Structure 1
Amino acid sequence: SFIDESVEEAITDYGNSVLYSSARNEYMIVRMKRMLERTVWALTKQLSAGDFQPSAYEFRFANGKIDRIDTCEDGDKVYVKVLDYKTGSKAFDVVALYHGLQLQLMVYMDAAVKAEQKKHKEQEVIPAGVFYYRIQDPLVDKQEEASVEEALLKELKPDGMINLKDEVLHHLEHRTEGESLAVPVKFNKNGSLAKSSKAVPEEEFQIMMRHAARKVEETHQSILRGETKASPYRRGQETGCDYCKYRHVCGFDVKVPGYAYRDIGKMSKEEAIAAMQAASKGEE
C-alpha cells in the first residue's frame, strides 16, 4: 500500500500527462511498483539473515549522502554497516578503489563510523562492511517452487566488502554453510570462507578506508592548486569518458597531440591492497 501510494505521488509530481500518455508508459508504472515491491521484500529478507537494524536513512555529511546505515550492538561494541542503492550493475572493485575511481563506499563508512562514535561514546564502534544493493527485478529459471525465492535472493544479493573483525560476519549472516543470500560470502563444507567471498581481515579493511580518505584529501588539494588537466583513465576497454556528461565539451581528443588516456594496468585484489599499504607507509 505504501509503495503504491508513493509511486502515485511521484507520478503526480512528475506530471500525469507524461507517464499516462501511452500504454508503454503505463506499463512502466506497473513495472516500477513491482520493482519496488521486490526491493522491499529482498531488503527485509537480507536484514532478517543477521542482527543489524537500520540506524539512519539518507544520512548527509560533508562529502555526500549515505542511503542507509545499519548498526548492531553487542555488549561494549557497536558494528556499523553502510548500504548504497544503485540502479545499475555496480560492483565493489578493490583495484578501482586503489586508483581512486571508486572511493564512495569507504568514504561513506568513515563518515558513518564517526557519526556512530558521537552517539555511542562509551562503546567501541567497528566498521562491519560496505555494500551496493542493485535495484532490479531479475528473471530466474522457474525450477522447483521452493527454490524460486532463493534464486531471486541470490540475484539480489548486495555486493561489497566485509571486515572480518570479531563477530562481524556472524552478525551479518547467521548461516555457516553454503552460499549466503544476504552478503557476498560463501562457506566451504568445513565452515571456512570460500575464496570467492568478498571479506578481508581487519587490517586490510582499515588499509582500504585510510587509502580512500587519503585519495579524497589529494583530490581536494589538487582542486585548490587549480589543476584542471583532462586526464581520463583507460582500463582495458573501459575509459573515464564512457559515461561522462561533459565528454562533448571538455575538448579531450586522442587525435590531438598532447592528449592521451591514463592507462591503468591489471592488478589482482592482493596486489591492490599491497600497493595501498605501501602508499600509506610511504606517506608516513
Structure 2
Amino acid sequence: MYRLEAPDIGNLYHRTIEHMSQTVQMEGKEWRDVSREECSSLAEAAVELVTPEIQNAILMSSNRYGYLKKKLTDVVSKTAEVLIEQSKRDGFDPVAFELAFGSGNFPPVSFTLSNGATCELVGRIDRVDTASIHDQLYVRIVDYKSSKREIDFAEIYYGLAMQMLIYLKVLIEQANAWTQENVAPAAALYFHVHRPLVAPAETDADTERKVLESYQMQGLLVDDPAILEMMDRTAKHDQKKSIVIPVKYKKDGTLDANTTKKVVSPPQLEQLMDHAIDLAQSSAEAMYDGEIGVEPYEYKERRPCQTCPFQSVCHFDEALSNEARQLKKLEKDDVLSRLGGDADEVDE
C-alpha cells in the first residue's frame, strides 16, 4: 500500500529544485538571469520528471492526487521566483546541488572508535554556494526544508542539530574533493520551501516584499561585514531587513540586536563544528557499547516520541513512571561558554 507522507513531499521539493537549478546551470545562466515567465515551465517540467519517483507514482493515481500535484507545482514555481529575487541581491553563486560525500571521489567523515572499529558518516548536501571575498573563497551551504527551521544554539549543544555543521566541516576539510582552492566557512542556512499567505500591504510592492521576507533563509552566519554584505548587496544600503539572510541593519550600518544572536566569529564556528563531530563520535561509541536506554528528551514541549515509529518497542509511558530528560533552553553565549569560554574569550 502506497501513501504520501511528509518525507515524500520533502523529497519532491528537493528533487524538483535540484532539477530546476541544474537546468538553469546547463543553460549557462544563474537564477538572476531567469525571467518570472520561465518559472512556471521550469516547475512543471521538474515536477513531471520527479512525480513517477514518488511512492510508485502515487501523484498520478487519482484526481485527488492530481490536484495535490498541481498545488505542489505552484509551491515549486513560487520557490523558483524567490530564488530569482534572492539571486539578484546575492553575491554567492551555487556551484553544486545534492552533493554527496561518502561515495565516489568525495570520501566520508571517518573516525576510529575506542574498540578499533571505523565509523563513517555519509550525507548529501542540498546546495553549495561560494563567493570570493578578501582573495579568499568562502563556502555557504543551504538546506531545503518543507517546514520552518531556525538556528537554535541549544539544539546544537545537545546534538539535536548536528547535520549542517558536520556538512560545513566536511566541505572545509575535504575541499580538494570539490574545488581546487582553499575554502573558509561563511554560513549554514535553511531555506523554507512553502507558499506563504500574507496580509495585503498598502502597495503591491510592499506586499511582494512581505512575501519575499517570508522566504528569508535562517541559520548560522560568520560575523564578517564583507561576507554578510555579499549575501545581500542591497540590505545595508537600504537600511532594511534582508530578504536573503537573517540580517537587519541599524541606521548607523551596524547589525541590530536580533541579528547579533545569529552570527559567530570564525573561531566560534570552528568550535561548533568540532562539537558536532565530537557528538557524532560519542553517539557511535554509545551504540557500539549497546546503550539503548529508554531516555527520550523533552525540549520546548517537544519530544521525538511524537513522530517515532518504535514506541511499540520501547514502551515509554509516563503512566508507568517513565520520565523524559528535560533539556534546558540555552542562548548563544551560554553554549559558547560551555564549549570553552565566552564570546570574548573565543575571539582572542
Report if aligned partners of 1:79, 1:128 keep a CA contact under 8 Å in 2: yes
- TM-score for the superposition, normalised by structure 1: 0.89
Structure 2 residues without counterparts, runs of 5 or longer: 1-40, 102-107, 109-121
Please list the CA deviations of residues 185-206 of structure 1 after superposition, one character each: whole Å capped at 9, or x if unmatched: 1111110001111222222222
- What is the rounded CA distance, in whole Å, between the counterparts of 1:64 and 1:169 in structure 2? 27
| Cα distance in structure 2, aligned partners of 1:130 and 1:149 | 26
1:168-197 superposed Cα distances (whole Å, 9 cap, x missing partner) = 212212121210000011111110001111
How many angstroms does 1:90 deviate by?
1.9
Match of 1:266 in 2: 329
Q: Can you list the C-alpha shifts for 1:118-177, whole angstroms capped at 9, x where unaligned? A: 5555x5411000001111000112221111221111101111010114732122121212
Aligned with residue 223 of structure 1, among 269, 272, 287: 287
SS in 1 for 2:94: strand
How far the C-alpha of 1:16 sits from its partner, in A, is 6.4
Query: Is 1:50 the counterpart of 2:90 in the alignment?
Result: yes
Q: Alpha-carbon deviations, 1:200-254, whole Å to 9, x = none?
A: 2222222211111111111121122221112111124211212222233322223
Report 1:221-260 matches (<5 A). Answer: 221-257=285-321, 259-260=322-323
Which residue of structure 2 aligns with residue 174 of structure 1? 233
Give the residue type in structure 2 aligned to 1:235: Y
- SS of 2:298 mapped into structure 1: strand
1:49-96, CA deviations, whole angstroms, 9 ceiling, x for partnerless residues? 221111111111233111011111246411000000110122221111
Match of 1:155 among 194, 203, 214: 214
Q: Tell me the C-alpha RMSD between the 2 structures.
A: 2.3
- In the alignment, which residue of structure 1 is the partner of 2:145? 86
Runs of 4+ in 1 over 6 A off after TM superposition: none
AA at the equivalent of 1:209: M
Give the 3-state SS of the residue equivalent to 1:241 in structure 2.
helix
Q: Matched residues in 2 for 1:73 and 1:21: separation?
A: 49
Point out where structure 1 has 5 or more consecutive residues left out of the alignment.
none
Measure the CA separation in 2 of the matches of 1:153 and 1:115.
Answer: 34
1:9: Cα distance to partner?
Answer: 3.1
Residues 11, 187 of structure 1: alpha-carbon distance in 2 compared, 3 angstrom cutoff: same
Give distance in 2, aligned partners of 1:131 and 1:117: 23
Q: How does 1:106-185 map to 2 (within 5 A)?
A: 106-120=165-179, 123-143=181-201, 144-165=203-224, 167-175=226-234, 176=236, 177-185=239-247
Residue 21 in structure 1 maps to residue 83 in structure 2 = no
Instruction: Identify the structure with bigger relative contact order (alpha carbons < 8 Å, sequence gap 6+).
Output: 1
Identity of aligned residues (%): 25
Q: Give 1 or 2: higher helix fraction.
A: 2
2: distance between equivalents of 1:10 and 1:237?
36
What code does the residue aligned with 1:191 have? G
Question: What is the deviation of 1:267?
Answer: 2.0
Instruction: Look up the SS of the partner of 2:142 in the other structure.
Output: strand
Is the aligned partner of 1:3 residue 2:43?
yes
Which region of structure 1 is more displaced relative to structure 2, 46-55 or 186-195? Answer: 46-55
Q: How many residues align?
A: 277
